[in-house]
């Protein structure tokens, strides 16, 4: 296609270079060629998942003990261990399977949209619905949705590194090329998956889905990503450490065993029981499940988190850098009034020529399209431009008519660096340029201004007067856009932005979102600073900031921020103390983030443009806007806000904190209950007690106490108190020293309470009943312990754990299983359970309650946390 002209390509694809495909034809083609999507890599197969379950050391340990049991002809023991092994594997398998499914579901949430021209109007459709022959419209920040041939392009630059690895953007245009041009040099072709970094273009789609260059590569390599999060890594390191500790204890047991002349089988049983007690195999996967559950919850609240790891980072965020337009405001921009040298629409004076010219500038120097619900299509484009178009149309200007009488021949696309945009049009007797942009930028480009029918010299005094007018407008919280034009006798088609004639300004309303003030208040309570970084006028920024409660102080302007090569320590200190940054360029955003991060801050930052990509990557949490953001921003971001709203960031941070807190809770719960088991087994062994706890019993206890209650803790909704304290520093260990101390004290209290049951027993008890009492007391102590890991400052029934119905359900299941084990004879035999009477039951309940009460009292006394 690159060796044909655009027109030839268009006819080869039987489409229309102006109006595109008809909607019906597009539908037919979609049925024929299929969706414009790459085939997804396969997710982990059921078999791999199953095999993964056999990788843990505990499985080998159990297998070994089963074999040992069989070799000693204790068949029931061997079979029982195998059954437990099976149950454990199944639970592990289903948990991982659930986690995988959740991740799949989350991947499906990120839908992308593209702008196409169909039946003559510019509309937005699902990227997967694009078909060959479609006309696509692309601008800076778009990721090219399919392979396409350029029809026309204005200063188009494309970053093709996704395809070729070449990171310097390539210039693109519509010129024909020789047939033998290599792929990388085909400057008139655009490829799916590459990104527009500058300019804009209209192109015709030549290939979609797996037929694109990207599709051909994608079918060669199905890349897989490493998805282990730092937290999961920390937890599996944790598990590994525990295995070593267990080995040490096991060695100690063997030594004391030899000294005390114990039988080999007895020692082996104790060691196996100990290992089963000590190794929390479920730890990393329970954490994954909690994180995945959190992601799904956030997705329901319009926040798409792309990586599990971000959920963790979110919980530790202490600075949010947010832009203004669209995040703090509604971004439904409408023109309030127009002021030109001879006209003020607020005062409802009659139209003048300069006002008419301003309306033309608004309409022509504009890439938006208002569809007014025709073909079910909404307005497409930058909300600011949509607002301007609506105003001009309401004042009687027909965009279609004026666009055809003054056809556009070239364009200087808007960039947040220059803050201006310009378009060049040919007329019957020459050409004309229209520009719009930030007032300072436009005024500095003007040499004249238009007053009525005449053009006058734009003196310094006059310029300052207009800067003051825009400053006054901006300090009322309005967004100010200035307009200029330049008419010329030549038929020149290239655009130059100089010697312009100033036309006037438009003041636009973009009110702050209603819920933002509350969200910011909540941030301050939670120890999170909110910093506004905007490309807008400082006065507008200050007004909006005060409306929503962002702390005051000086507004820092981009112009007074020295570049990274020369900024000083004082500059950095000043930046860190500032909360409002205005007229800031994307490069300065990047510098600012670095300076904030040097100060050990965890920075979340929002961005939408293609130039924001480096800053989004650099931030600890890069946040892109789902509606307003460019494809590039969404691609590099860690998180996408579907509703573009600031409050959603705060919701996500809260959710992140709740999840971390939940993981910490079940970590403490698991560690303390497992430690209590170790204490019980070791004490029995060392004191040469006639009572026993068998490995199988420990496995059973862990099945009851580790699986269901620990999972249920992951579903805690968290209390509001979580946003009333400063964030947890992710660089610190998961558990503080104080929390470790608490774990140890918990374990000692549980073990001691379990042993206290022996005191209450009558002297003539049978050993089998006594061991059974010990067994059930340990279980019940642990089950009640689930309520202990809550916040110590909260009353029991108000705590989020007591309110979590999953916890109650988990307890019910666990207790039921405990009872069934006693009632069903084969289980009772395998678990070596003796008979219990009413008094025994009383002892069990009493001791469990005792352990619960002691811990609660300790907590109230602030001894443990």
Ligand X SMILES: Nc1ncnc2c1ncn2[C@@H]1O[C@H](COP(=O)(O)OP(=O)(O)OP(=O)(O)O)[C@@H](O)[C@H]1O
- Is 481 among the residues that bind ligand X (CB under 6 A)? yes
Are 560 and 568 contacting, i.e. CB atoms less than 8 angstroms apart? no
- Is 421 among the residues that bind ligand X (CB under 6 A)? yes
Pick 88 or 651: Cβ nearer Cu ion = 88
- Is 323 among the residues that bind ligand X (CB under 6 A)? yes
Q: Tell me how far apart the alpha carbons of residues 149 and 204 are, in angstroms, rounded to a whole number.
A: 5
* Min CB(790)–ligand X separation in Å: 41
* Min CB(535)–ligand X separation in Å: 2
Q: Is 323 a catalytic residue?
A: yes
Q: Tell me how far apart the alpha carbons of residues 436 and 392 are, in angstroms, rounded to a whole number.
A: 14
Q: Which residues contact 646 (CB under 8 A, 6 or more apart)?
A: 322, 327, 328, 513, 516, 519, 520
- Is 140 among the residues that bind ligand X (CB under 6 A)? no
Bridge partner list, 380: 369
As a dihedral over the C-alpha atoms of residue 175, residue 179, residue 182, residue 187, rounded to 10 degrees, the angle is: 10
Pick 25 or 323: Cβ nearer ligand X = 323
Catalytic residue among 142, 159, 323, 379: 323
Span 374-393, contacts to ligand X by CB under 6 A: 382, 384-385
Q: Tell me how far apart the alpha carbons of residues 627 and 643 are, in angstroms, rounded to a whole number.
A: 7
Identify the DSSP state of 706.
I
Pick 535 or 626: Cβ nearer ligand X = 535
- Is 416 among the residues that bind ligand X (CB under 6 A)? yes
- Is 534 among the residues that bind ligand X (CB under 6 A)? yes
Task: Name the one range near ligand X by CB under 6 A: 13-21, 345-353, 416-424, 734-742.
Answer: 416-424
Q: What is the largest CA-CA distance in the chain?
A: 117
Are 706 and 280 contacting, i.e. CB atoms less than 8 angstroms apart? yes
For the record, the structure tokens of 733 come out as 């260990």
* Min CB(456)–ligand X separation in Å: 24
CA proximity to 514, closest of 321, 652, 336, 330: 330
Q: Give residue number: closest CB to ligand X.
A: 535
DSSP helix/strand/coil, 601: coil
DSSP sequence for 749-787: HHHHHHHHHHHHS-TT--HHHHHHHHHHHHHHHHHHHGG
Task: Name the one range near Cu ion by CB under 5 A: 229-237, 445-453, 695-703, 803-811.
Answer: 695-703
Pick 436 or 859: Cβ nearer ligand X = 436
Span 172-201, contacts to ligand X by CB under 6 A: none
For the record, the structure tokens of 841 come out as 């039951």
- CA distances for 587 relative to 504, 563, 591, angstroms: 30, 9, 7
* Min CB(334)–ligand X separation in Å: 15
Binding residues with ligand X: total (CB under 6 A): 18
Bridge partner list, 622: 605
For the record, the structure tokens of 238 come out as 């944790």
- Is 414 among the residues that bind ligand X (CB under 6 A)? yes
Binding residues with Cu ion: total (CB under 5 A): 4
Which one of Cu ion, ligand X, none is in contact with 169 (Cβ closer than 5 to 8 A by kind)?
none
- Is 705 among the residues that bind Cu ion (CB under 5 A)? yes
Strand intervals (E) in 380-510: 408-412, 420-427, 430-437, 446-451, 454-457, 479-488, 500-509
Which one of Cu ion, ligand X, none is in contact with 705 (Cβ closer than 5 to 8 A by kind)?
Cu ion
Q: Which residues contact 462 (CB under 8 A, 6 or more apart)?
A: 449, 456
Task: Name the one range near ligand X by CB under 6 A: 252-260, 318-326, 485-493, 587-595.
Answer: 318-326
Helix 646-686 vs helix 308-316: crossing angle, to nearest 10? 100
**Residue 796 phi, psi (nearest 5):** -50, -55
Pick 364 or 855: Cβ nearer Cu ion = 855
- Is 436 among the residues that bind ligand X (CB under 6 A)? yes
Pick 414 or 700: Cβ nearer ligand X = 414
* Min CB(243)–ligand X separation in Å: 52
Pick 650 or 703: Cβ nearer ligand X = 650
DSSP helix/strand/coil, 798: helix
- Is 777 among the residues that bind Cu ion (CB under 5 A)? no
Per-residue contact string for residues 634-673; x = within reach of Cu ion by CB under 5 A:
---------------------------------------x
DSSP helix/strand/coil, 679: helix
Q: Tell me how far apart the alpha carbons of residues 744 and 776 are, in angstroms, rounded to a whole number.
A: 21
Task: Name the one range near ligand X by CB under 6 A: 167-175, 223-231, 415-423, 671-679.
Answer: 415-423
Cα atoms in the 13 Å half-sphere on the side-chain side of 305:
31
Exposure string (b/e) for 666-694, b if CB count within 10 Å is 16 or more? bbbbbbbbbbbbbbbbbebbeeebebbbb
Secondary structure element (H or E) that encloses residue 856, with its range? helix 838-860
Q: Tell me how far apart the alpha carbons of residues 865 and 862 are, in angstroms, rounded to a whole number.
A: 7
- Is 438 among the residues that bind ligand X (CB under 6 A)? yes
- Is 832 among the residues that bind ligand X (CB under 6 A)? no
* Min CB(532)–ligand X separation in Å: 8
Which one of Cu ion, ligand X, none is in contact with 416 (Cβ closer than 5 to 8 A by kind)?
ligand X
Question: How many C-beta neighbours within 10 Å does residue 153 have?
Answer: 24
Which one of Cu ion, ligand X, none is in contact with 785 (Cβ closer than 5 to 8 A by kind)?
none
Pick 287 or 541: Cβ nearer ligand X = 541
Q: Tell me how far apart the alpha carbons of residues 574 and 723 are, in angstroms, rounded to a whole number.
A: 28
Sign of CA dihedral 496, 501, 506, 512: positive
* Min CB(127)–Cu ion separation in Å: 49
- Choosing from 419, 485, 542, 792, the residue that interacts with ligand X (CB under 6 A) is 419
* Min CB(280)–Cu ion separation in Å: 9
Task: Name the one range near ligand X by CB under 6 A: 45-53, 434-442, 550-558, 788-796.
Answer: 434-442
**Residue 577 phi, psi (nearest 5):** -95, -5
Q: Give residue number: closest CB to Cu ion.
A: 673
- Choosing from 114, 325, 804, 851, the residue that interacts with ligand X (CB under 6 A) is 325
* Min CB(529)–ligand X separation in Å: 17
* Min CB(522)–Cu ion separation in Å: 37
- Is 362 among the residues that bind ligand X (CB under 6 A)? no
Question: How many C-beta neighbours within 10 Å does residue 302 have?
Answer: 17
Task: Name the one range near ligand X by CB under 6 A: 350-358, 528-536, 651-659, 742-750.
Answer: 528-536
Pick 470 or 777: Cβ nearer ligand X = 470
Pick 295 or 421: Cβ nearer ligand X = 421
- CB-neighbour burial class of residue 488 (10 A; exposed 0-12, middle 13-18, buried 19+): middle
* Min CB(423)–ligand X separation in Å: 10
- Choosing from 2, 118, 149, 324, the residue that interacts with ligand X (CB under 6 A) is 324
* Min CB(751)–Cu ion separation in Å: 12
Which one of Cu ion, ligand X, none is in contact with 673 (Cβ closer than 5 to 8 A by kind)?
Cu ion
Identify the DSSP state of 732.
S
Pick 702 or 777: Cβ nearer Cu ion = 702
Q: Tell me how far apart the alpha carbons of residues 363 and 382 are, in angstroms, rounded to a whole number.
A: 13
- Choosing from 535, 622, 709, 714, the residue that interacts with ligand X (CB under 6 A) is 535
Bridge partner list, 509: 334
Task: Name the one range near ligand X by CB under 6 A: 43-51, 162-170, 197-205, 414-422.
Answer: 414-422
Judged by the rule CB under 6 A, the positions of this chain that interact with ligand X are: 323-325, 382, 384-385, 414, 416, 419-421, 436-438, 481, 534-536
The set of catalytic residues is 323
Judged by the rule CB under 5 A, the positions of this chain that interact with Cu ion are: 673, 702, 705-706
């Amino acid at each position: 296609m690159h060796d044909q002209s655009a027109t030839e390509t268009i006819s080869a694809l039987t489409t229309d270079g102006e109006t595109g495909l008809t909607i019906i034809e597009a539908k037919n083609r979609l049925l024929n060629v299929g969706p414009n999507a790459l085939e997804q890599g396969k997710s982990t197969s059921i078999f791999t998942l199953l095999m993964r379950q056999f990788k843990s050391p505990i499985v080998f340990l159990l297998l070994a003990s089963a074999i040992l049991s069989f070799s000693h002809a204790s068949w029931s023991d061997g079979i029982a261990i195998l059954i437990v092994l099976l149950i454990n594997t199944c639970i592990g398998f289903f948990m991982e399977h659930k986690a995988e499914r959740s991740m799949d579901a989350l991947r499906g949430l990120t839908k992308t949209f593209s702008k196409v021209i169909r039946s003559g109007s510019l509309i937005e459709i699902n990227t997967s619905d694009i078909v060959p022959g479609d006309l696509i419209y692309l601008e800076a920040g778009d990721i090219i949705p399919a392979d396409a041939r350029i029809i026309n392009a204005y200063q188009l630059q494309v970053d093709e590194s996704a395809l070729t690895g070449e990171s310097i953007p390539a210039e693109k245009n519509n010129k024909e090329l020789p047939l033998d041009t290599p792929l990388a040099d085909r400057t008139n072709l655009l490829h799916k998956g590459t990104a527009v970094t500058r300019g804009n273009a209209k192109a015709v789609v030549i290939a979609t889905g797996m037929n694109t260059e990207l599709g051909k590569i994608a079918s060669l390599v199905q890349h897989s990503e490493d998805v282990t999060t730092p937290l999961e890594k920390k937890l599996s390191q944790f598990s590994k450490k525990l295995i070593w500790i267990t080995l040490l204890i096991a060695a100690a047991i063997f030594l004391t065993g030899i000294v005390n002349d114990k039988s080999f089988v007895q020692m082996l049983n104790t060691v196996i029981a100990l290992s089963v007690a000590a190794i929390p195999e479920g730890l990393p996967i329970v954490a994954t499940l909690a994180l995945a559950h959190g992601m799904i919850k956030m997705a329901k609240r319009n926040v798409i988190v792309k990586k599990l790891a971000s959920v963790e980072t979110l919980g530790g965020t202490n600075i949010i850098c947010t832009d203004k337009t669209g995040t703090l405001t509604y971004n439904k921009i409408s023109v309030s009034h127009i002021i030109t040298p001879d006209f003020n629409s607020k005062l409802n004076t009659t139209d003048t020529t300069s006002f008419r010219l301003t309306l033309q500038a608004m309409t022509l120097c504009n890439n938006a399209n208002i569809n007014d619900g025709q073909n079910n299509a909404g307005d497409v484009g930058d909300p600011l431009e949509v607002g301007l178009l609506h105003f001009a149309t309401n004042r009687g200007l027909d965009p279609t008519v004026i666009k055809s009488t003054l056809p556009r021949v070239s364009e200087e696309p808007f960039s947040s660096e220059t803050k201006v945009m310009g378009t060049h049009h040919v007329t019957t007797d020459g050409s004309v340029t229209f520009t719009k942009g930030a007032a300072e930028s436009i005024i500095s480009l003007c040499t004249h201004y238009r007053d009525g029918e005449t053009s006058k010299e734009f003196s310094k005094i006059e310029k300052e007067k207009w800067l003051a007018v825009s400053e006054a407008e901006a300090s009322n919280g309005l967004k100010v856009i200035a307009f200029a034009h330049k008419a010329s006798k030549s038929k020149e088609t290239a655009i130059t932005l100089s010697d312009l004639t100033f036309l006037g300004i438009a003041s636009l309303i973009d009110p702050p979102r209603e819920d933002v003030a509350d969200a910011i208040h909540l941030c301050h309570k939670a120890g999170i600073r909110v910093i506004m970084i905007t490309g807008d006028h400082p006065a507008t920024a200050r007004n909006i900031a005060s409306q929503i409660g962002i702390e005051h102080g000086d507004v820092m302007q981009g112009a007074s921020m020295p570049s990274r090569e020369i900024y000083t320590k004082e500059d950095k200190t000043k930046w860190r103390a500032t909360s409002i940054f205005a007229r800031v360029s994307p490069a300065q955003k990047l510098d600012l983030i670095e300076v904030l991060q040097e100060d050990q801050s965890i920075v979340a930052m929002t961005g939408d443009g293609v130039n924001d990509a480096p800053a989004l990557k650099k931030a600890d949490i890069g946040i892109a806007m789902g509606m307003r953001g460019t494809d590039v921003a969404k691609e590099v971001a860690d998180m996408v806000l579907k509703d573009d709203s600031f409050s959603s960031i705060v919701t996500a941070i809260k959710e992140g904190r709740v999840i971390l807190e939940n993981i910490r809770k079940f970590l403490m719960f698991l560690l303390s209950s497992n430690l209590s088991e170790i204490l019980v087994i070791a004490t029995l062994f060392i004191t040469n007690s006639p009572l026993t706890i068998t490995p199988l019993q420990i496995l059973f206890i862990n099945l009851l106490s580790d699986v269901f209650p620990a999972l249920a803790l992951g579903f805690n909704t968290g209390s509001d108190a979580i946003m009333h304290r400063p964030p947890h520093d992710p660089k610190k260990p998961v558990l503080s020293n104080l929390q470790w101390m608490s774990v140890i004290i918990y374990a000692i209290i549980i073990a001691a309470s379990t042993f206290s049951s022996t005191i209450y027993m009558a002297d003539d008890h049978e050993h089998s009943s006594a061991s059974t009492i010990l067994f059930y007391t340990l279980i019940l102590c642990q089950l009640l312990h689930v309520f202990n890991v809550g916040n110590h400052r909260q009353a029991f029934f108000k705590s989020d754990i007591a309110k979590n119905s999953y916890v109650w359900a988990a307890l019910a299941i666990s207790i039921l299983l405990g009872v069934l084990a006693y009632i069903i004879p084969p289980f009772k035999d395998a678990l070596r359970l003796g008979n219990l009477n009413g008094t025994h039951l009383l002892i069990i309940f009493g001791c469990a309650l005792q352990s619960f009460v002691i811990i609660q009292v300790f907590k109230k006394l602030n001894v443990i946390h």
